[in-house]
Amino acid sequence: MTGHLKSWPIVLALSILSAPLVLMYAYLFIDTFTNAPPGSFIPNEFTLEHWTFLWHTPPGRLSIWRVTLNSLMFATSTATLVVVVSSMAGYVLSRLNVPARGFFLAGVMVLHAFPAITLIVAIFLVLQIVGLYNTLIGVILVKAAIDMPLGIWLMKGFYDTVPWEIEMAGIQDGASRFTVWRKLVLPQVKPGIFALGLFAFLLGWGEFILPQVLAPSGNAQVLSVYLAALIADDNNFDMALFKSVGLFYIAPVLILFFFFQSYLMNIYGGGTKG
Amino acid sequence: MRILLDKFSKSFGDVRVIEDMTLEIKDGEMLALLGPSGCGKSTTLFAICGIHKVTGGRILFGDRDMTGVPSQERNVGVVFQSYALYPHMTVAENIAFPLRIRKLPEAEVKRQMEEMANLVHIEALLDRRPAELSGGQQQRVALARALVRRPNVLLLDEPLANLDAKLRLEMRSEIRRIQLETGITAILVTHDQVEAMSMCDRIAIMNAGEIIQIATPQEMYRNPRTAFVAGFLGNPPIAFIEAEARGGMLAVKDADIRLPMPANATTPPDGTPVIVGIRPENLGRDGDAPIRGRISFVETQGRENLYDLTLANGSVLRSIQRESDDVSLNDEVEWRVRSDQLFLFAQNGERL
C-alpha cells in the first residue's frame, strides 16, 4: 500500500498532463449524443439528431452505408492483396536462390522508405490512362502496392526465423517445394501473417490522401473522404455531425483492438522453439 | 538396399570438399561416417539424400542411378541433429506426414503410423506437440517419421549430439535396436568415436574430404591404417612418441628407452625416424618392454585410474589401470609396454 501512497504525486502530474486528451475523447463521445446551449460546454439535452445520418441520406451525398461498405472493401482488399503477395514474396526473398536477390531486397527497402505522396501525380496519370481513376479497384491497387514493401520485409523477417531443417525434412518426406511452403513453413509464420493482415487493414481503413486524390467523388468514396467532405462543405457546417461520423469511423478500429490486442501483443512471440 | 557412391565429388564454388570418393554400403548394414568437423561427412550425407547436387560421380541405390533424381523421389529417411519436427503438428501428424503426402488411404495411414509409434515406443504421446516432448522423445518421433514410409536408406546426422549423457546411452542402443529390427540400411554421421564404434557394423573414417579407412570397429581399433585413425579411435586416446629405428629396436628420441620392434610391422632401415603409438591399456604393470618415467597426472575414474607418464625426453604417455593406491603423483616408476600391441607409423602418418 505504501507504494501506492508514494506514487500519488506522479499519478496526479500525469493525470493533469493527459487531461486535455481525455477531455477531447470524452467530448467526441458526449457531443454526438447531446446538445449544449451556445457558449457553454455543459450539455443540457440528450438527442439522437446527430446520428440521423445513419438512416437519412441528405441530397447530394452518398448513403453512409454505401461509404462504409466502400471503406470495408477498400481495407479488406488491400489487406488481402498485401498478405497474399507478401507471404509469397517474403518466402522467395528469404529462401530461394533467385537472380538479383540483393537488388530486389535493396529495391524493396528503398520503395518502403519512399514517400508515396511524391508519386501521386504519376499515379493519377497512370490511373487516368488505364481507366481506373475514380474507381475503388484503382485505389486498392495503388494502396496495396504502397504497403507491400513493408509487408514483404516483415514476412521475410518471419521466414528467416524458420529453421532450414524443417524444409529439408519436408522435402525428404516427399513433399514438393510448394507443399512444404504451404503445409510446413506457412504455419510457422502465422503470427506474422496475422499481424500483417491486421496492420494492412488498419492502414487501409485510415487511408485518406490516396482515395481523396484518386477516387474523390462518385460511388468509390470511402469514409475518410466522406468525413473530409463534411468539413469542406461551407453551406451546411455541422460540428456535431462531423463528430458523430468520426466516432462511427473509429468504432471498428476500437473494436478490432479490443478483440485482438492479445494477438497484437504476442505478434513477435511466434516461431519455433529449439 | 545397397548404396554405392561411385567417384563422387562435391565442391562449393572453388572449394573442393570431396573428390573422387567411392564408398559402398551393403544392404541392411549400418555404417558410420566418422571424422572431425569439416571433413565432409555431412556433405556426403546431404548428397545421398539429394539436398546437395553432386559435382561429379554417381550415387546408386541398388542398381538405380539416383544422381539426378530429386530428393522427393529418392525415398531417403533423414533424422536431423535438431530433429526438425513440425512444431504445429501433433506427434501423430508428424509421423503420418510422409504417408499423407503420398496420398495413402486414411485407414492405412493410421495403421502404419501406429505400427511405427509402437516400434519406437511413443504410443502414449501421439496427441502431444513436439514442444511438449523431451529430447529423447523428440528423437524417437523423428526416427518414426523417417522410417514410416520404409525408406531405401536411413540417414542419421549426429542424432545424439543434442542429448544429455544418460539419454545418449539409451538412444544409442535404441537406434541400433530399431535399425536391426527393421533391417534398414543406415548411415550414421558422427564425430564421436564411441557412437560410431558402439552402433555400427562398419566405420568409414574421413579426414579432409577423403576416406582414410573402412573397417569394422574392432578391426579399425586393432589395426589402424594411419596415425590419424589410431588417434581418433579410443578413449582415453592413444599417445605418440618419436623414435628411431636402430639395430632392429626402436630407440626413443632423447631418452634411454629401447622398445622391441612390433612383430606386425615391417622393419624400417636403421636411422629412420618413426612414430610409435601406445594405447593406454597397453602400458602398465604387465608387458615385456620396460619404460621409466615420472607420473605427472592422475585422474580417478572410479573403476580405473588414468595416469600420465612423462618420460625423460618430456613426451607424455597415458596408462589406464585398475584402481590402486600404490603409486601417486610425481613417483618415478618403471612400467611395461606390451610390445606386440605397439603401432609403428612413418613420419607422414602411414602405418609401417
Question: CB of B148 within 8 A of CB of B119?
Answer: no
CATH superfamily of the B239-345 domain: Nucleic acid-binding proteins (2.40.50.140)
Lowest mean pLDDT of A209-213, A263-267, B102-106, B175-179, name the range: A263-267
In total, the C-beta contacts within 8 angstroms joining chain A to chain B are 60
B350 phi, psi to nearest 5 deg: -70, 140
Residue B114 has a pLDDT of 93
Which sequence spans correspond to the domains of chain B?
A: 3-223, 239-345
* Mean predicted confidence (pLDDT) in B59-85: 90
pLDDT for B86 beyond 80: yes
B177: distance to nearest CA of chain A, Å?
Answer: 23
Cell of A223: 469514409
Is residue B102 within 8 angstroms of chain A, CB to CB? yes
SS3 A221: coil
Residue A273 has a pLDDT of 34
State pLDDT tens for residues B114-165. 999 998 889 999 999 999 998 889 999 999 999 998 898 999 998 888 888 8
Residue A271 has a pLDDT of 39
In a 13 Å sphere around the CA of B215, the CA atoms on its Cβ side amount to 15
Residue A3 has a pLDDT of 58
Residue B253 has a pLDDT of 79
Options 2.60.34.10, 3.30.413.10, 1.10.1060.10, 3.40.50.300; CATH of B3-223:
3.40.50.300
Helix (H) or strand (E) holding A45: strand A45-46
Lowest mean pLDDT of B33-37, B83-87, B209-213, B285-289, name the range: B285-289
Question: CB of A153 within 8 A of CB of A109?
Answer: yes
B95: distance to nearest CA of chain A, Å?
Answer: 10
* Mean predicted confidence (pLDDT) in A123-148: 91
Q: For chain B, how are helix, strand and coil distributed in percent, rounded to 5?
A: 30, 35, 35
Question: CB of B275 within 8 A of CB of B240?
Answer: yes
Across the interface, whether the CB atoms of B82 and A272 are under 8 A apart is answered no
pLDDT for A2 beyond 60: no
- Domains, chain A, with CATH or none: 2-47 (no CATH), 58-269 (1.10.3720.10)
Tell which residue, A34, A49, A209, A237, has the closest CA to residue A120: A209
Is residue B297 within 8 angstroms of chain A, CB to CB? no
Lowest mean pLDDT of A10-14, B183-187, B298-302, name the range: B298-302
Residue A59 has a pLDDT of 73
State pLDDT tens for residues A154-206. 899 899 999 988 999 999 998 999 999 999 999 999 888 988 898 899 899 99
pLDDT for A269 beyond 80: no
pLDDT grade for A127, boundaries at 50, 70 and 90: very high
B169 phi, psi to nearest 5 deg: -60, -45
Is residue B87 within 8 angstroms of chain A, CB to CB? yes
Mean residue pLDDT across chain A? 86
Tell which residue, A62, A9, A38, has the closest CA to residue A245: A62
Residue B268 has a pLDDT of 80
Is residue A97 within 8 angstroms of chain B, CB to CB? no
Mean residue pLDDT across chain B? 88
* Mean predicted confidence (pLDDT) in A220-235: 85
A182: distance to nearest CA of chain B, Å?
Answer: 12
